[in-house]
């Protein structure tokens, strides 16, 4: 018997909670160490940029730049671990994106934007082939086509690497609601992937 959608948590990258380099970088950055901040930026920025693209399309780079400016100002006052840091930065990014949509007309990402994002390397190896697919141009095009609630949930969970409670705090929703949205989004992506494979096979028959 199939499990209820709300009970199925989508897969996501599994960052090592004991990663000494990132943990040490966070501690150093909070003390004002520039090298520590650079390590954190390189770890999170590629994923944050993909998330911002769903929110504001072509303005994603501006939004993430504003996000990191706020992070540099407020980092000394941040209290929490590495997962908490990722959630905190994602929340700032979402708030900056919402500010942008209130003042500027949202522009959908162009194919060139998607191609650039797909070429951005992931900061660490994806934990399985399914997550590796999320860094491709195909995946970005289809994630951008999802309903926004599903697209945000998929990116926060499967790309940024947040668990359901952390993603829920970013979105201001219940964890169960985020799990359902991510599950639905991943199911849509899976169906589209199967359809594309079938079409490709049919064309070459």
Look up the pTM and report it.
0.71
On the question of pLDDT at 33 being above 60, the answer is: yes
Residue 122 DSSP label: P
- Sequence-separated (6 or more) residues with CB below 8 Å from residue 156: 51, 90, 162, 166, 167, 170, 171, 178, 182
Helices 137-144, 111-119: axis angle to 10 degrees equals: 130
CA-CA distance, 58 to 107, in Å (whole number)?
A: 6
Task: Give the max Cα distance, the chain.
Answer: 61
Which one has a higher pLDDT value, 111 or 55?
Answer: 55
Task: Check whether 2 has a pLDDT greater than 60.
Answer: no
Residue pLDDT, tens place only, 123-162: 443 334 444 545 567 778 888 889 999 999 999 998 898 9
Q: Which two tokens stand for residue 33?
A: 């160490």
pLDDT value for 153: 94
pLDDT of 159 = 85
Q: Where are the domains of the chain?
A: 16-203
Mean pLDDT computed over 92-113: 72
- What mean pLDDT, rounded, does the chain reach? 78
- Alpha-carbon gap, residue 62 to 3, rounded angstroms: 41
Would you state the pLDDT for residue 10?
A: 40
Residue 193 reports pLDDT greater than 50: yes
SS3 annotation, the chain: CCCCHHHCCCCCCCCCCCCHHHHHHHHHHHCCCHHHHHHHHHHHHHHHHHHHHHHHECCHHHHHHHHHHHHHHHHHHCCCCHHHHHHHHHHHHHHHHHHHHHHCCCECCCHHHHHHHHHCCCCCCCCCHHHHHCCCHHHHHHHHCCCHHHHHHHHHHHHHCCCHHHHHHHHCCCHHHHHHHHHHHHHHHHHHHHHHHHHHHHHCC
pLDDT of residue 196: 74
Among 18-22, 106-110, 193-197, the minimum mean pLDDT is found in 106-110
| 3-state DSSP assignment of residue 16 | coil
* pLDDT interval class at 22 (50, 70, 90): very high
106 vs 147: which has the higher pLDDT: 147
CA neighbor of 52 nearest in space, from 87, 96, 83? 96
Of all residues in the chain, the percent with pLDDT exceeding 70 is 70
**113-117, 133-137, 162-166: range with lowest mean pLDDT:** 113-117
Percent of the chain residues past pLDDT 90, beyond the cut: 53
Tens of pLDDT, residues 45-83:
999 999 998 888 889 999 999 999 999 999 999 999 999
């Amino acid at each position: 018997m199939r499990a209820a959608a709300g009970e199925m948590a989508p897969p996501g990258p599994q960052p090592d909670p004991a990663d000494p380099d990132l943990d040490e970088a966070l501690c150093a950055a909070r003390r004002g160490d520039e090298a520590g901040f650079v390590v954190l930026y390189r770890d999170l920025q590629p994923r944050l940029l993909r998330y911002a693209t769903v929110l504001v399309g072509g303005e994603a780079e501006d939004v993430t730049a504003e996000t990191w400016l706020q992070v540099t100002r407020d980092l000394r006052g941040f209290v929490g671990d590495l997962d908490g840091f990722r959630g905190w930065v994602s929340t700032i990014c979402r708030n900056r994106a919402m500010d942008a949509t209130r003042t500027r007309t949202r522009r959908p990402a162009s194919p060139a934007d998607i191609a650039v994002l797909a070429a951005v390397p992931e900061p660490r190896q994806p934990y399985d082939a399914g997550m590796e697919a999320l860094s491709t141009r195909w995946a970005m095009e289809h994630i951008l086509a999802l309903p926004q609630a599903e697209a945000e949930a998929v990116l926060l969970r499967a790309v940024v690497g947040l668990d359901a409670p952390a993603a829920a705090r970013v979105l201001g929703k219940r964890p169960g609601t985020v799990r359902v949205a991510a599950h639905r989004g991943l199911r849509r992506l899976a169906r589209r992937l199967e359809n594309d494979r079938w079409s490709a096979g049919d064309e070459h028959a």
